[in-house]
């Protein structure tokens, strides 16, 4: 099954919004467990933190890009 992480940022109104650009979607191996997919998405976020310092978390999703559903949401800080 297709799985991907969509990275999140804050918009101008200080609300959580999906990040834009080609780096904002990270494709995952859908055969892995959810905890492994979360770990992989966190590692990718850490790798790109110098380029995208305003990312605040991600949504773990299943399905293709147009019709996916959210499985888990992970945020760096709870206040968002």
pLDDT in tens, 4-35: 999 999 999 999 999 999 999 999 999 999 99
pTM of the model: 0.88
Q: What is the spatial distance between Cα 25 and Cα 6, in angstroms, rounded to a whole number?
A: 5
Task: Answer yes or no: are the C-beta atoms of 5 and 19 closer than 8 Å.
Answer: no
Evaluate whether residue 18 is within a structural domain. Answer: yes
- Is a pLDDT exceeding 70 seen at residue 79? no
Evaluate whether residue 61 is within a structural domain. Answer: yes
Please report the pLDDT score of residue 78 as a whole number: 58
For 39, the domain range is 3-75
Evaluate whether residue 48 is within a structural domain. Answer: yes
Please report the pLDDT score of residue 80 as a whole number: 43
Task: Answer yes or no: are the C-beta atoms of 62 and 3 closer than 8 Å.
Answer: yes
- Give the chain's domain count: 1
Evaluate whether residue 41 is within a structural domain. Answer: yes
Structure tokens at 31: 């055969």
For all residues of the chain together, what is the average pLDDT?
Answer: 92
Evaluate whether residue 80 is within a structural domain. Answer: no
């Amino acid at each position: 099954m297709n799985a991907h992480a969509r990275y999140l940022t804050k918009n101008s109104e200080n609300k959580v919004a999906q990040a834009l650009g080609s780096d904002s979607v990270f494709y995952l191996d859908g055969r892995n467990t959810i905890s492994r997919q979360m770990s992989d998405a966190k590692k990718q976020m850490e790798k790109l933190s110098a380029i995208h310092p305003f990312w605040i978390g991600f949504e773990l999703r299943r399905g293709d890009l147009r019709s996916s559903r959210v499985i888990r949401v992970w945020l760096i800080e709870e206040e968002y």
